[in-house]
Amino acid sequence: MDSPGYIVLSRLVAAQRATAVTANNIANAETPGFRANRPLFGTVLERQIGAAAPRGGERIAYAQDRATWREASPAPLQRTGNPLDIAISDPDGYFAVETPRGERFTRAGRFTLDAEGRITDPSGHALLDTNGLPLRIAPGTANIEIRGDGSVMTENGLVGRIRVVRFEDPQRLQAEGDRELATPADMPAIPVDRPGVVQGAVEGSNVRPVLELTRLTEDMRQFQFVSQMAEREGERLSTAVERILRRRQ
């Protein structure tokens, strides 16, 4: 395969990747705390060795899948009235939860109480306090109040304070599923003193379905267009080989 074929194939892989990312955004349009992902593509330039570029020619550029980044635009808060539904008004803050893989971070604030009285997310991961310990509510507790600084209060007094952190470079956080994020070993979590915790509300997804559907339609058109180019390039090569063989005969 010559250079045009490789260029077309690199663009085909990029179009497929863009379609998959957009489809995942649409699937998570109703996921609490989800932030839309965007693929980041670059170009790899290749210069011919020992040959001058033809008049009017350009350098050969291949599409390269560089990374995926998350949109940081705020999502709307959905009022639920559930005392264990909480949101963070600070756009850079994250809750800390305990998982079998270690501490993970999320903006999805839909929590419940488990059989042991721990405040947990839908996956059963415990919400952590500022000491890195699971927050527990005593049996029979009637009133739960969560204040703006993350303090959890009941009729029996202070239970603890929710651990809310931020990061210098949140784009380096590694997604694990649709809600949780892991940190690289060299990026510490920075405590947030005034997170602006909101009780009785959940942060929605910042995905805008209509725009995502429009983007998906365009991505699919690009994929189909590049697929047709790949087919035509294959036909061109087959025709060229046949002509060469005929001349040799």
Residue 91 shares a structural domain with residue 56: no
Mean residue pLDDT of the chain comes to 85
Question: pTM value?
Answer: 0.76
Residue 101 shares a structural domain with residue 184: yes
Residue 43 shares a structural domain with residue 118: no
- Ranked by mean pLDDT, the top range of 88-92, 126-130, 175-179 is 126-130
The predicted pLDDT at position 60 comes to 53
The predicted pLDDT at position 140 comes to 87
131 — pLDDT class (breaks 50, 70, 90): very high
Residue 94 shares a structural domain with residue 190: yes
Overall number of domains in the chain: 2
Alpha-carbon distance of 95 to 23, in angstroms, equals 26
Residue 121 shares a structural domain with residue 8: no
User: Between 41 and 80, where is the model more confident?
Assistant: 80
User: Strands 157-161 and 112-113: what pairing?
Assistant: unpaired
59 — pLDDT class (breaks 50, 70, 90): low
Grouping H, G, I as helix, E, B as strand and the rest as coil, residue 203 is strand
Domain that holds residue 233: 3-73+207-248
Phi and psi torsions of 86, nearest 5°: -135, 150
- pLDDT (mean) for 127-147: 94
User: DSSP secondary structure string, 101-170?
Assistant: TEEEEE---B-EE-TTSBEE-TT-PEEBBTTS-B-B--TT---EEE-TTSEEEETTEEEEEB-EEE-S-G
Q: Which two tokens stand for residue 58?
A: 């350009």
The DSSP output letter for 85 is B
Residue 213 shares a structural domain with residue 99: no
Residue 234's identity, in one-letter code, is G
53 — pLDDT class (breaks 50, 70, 90): low
Which of 23-32, 96-105, 152-161, 220-229 is least confident? Answer: 220-229
Phi and psi torsions of 202, nearest 5°: -130, 135
Residue 135 shares a structural domain with residue 59: no
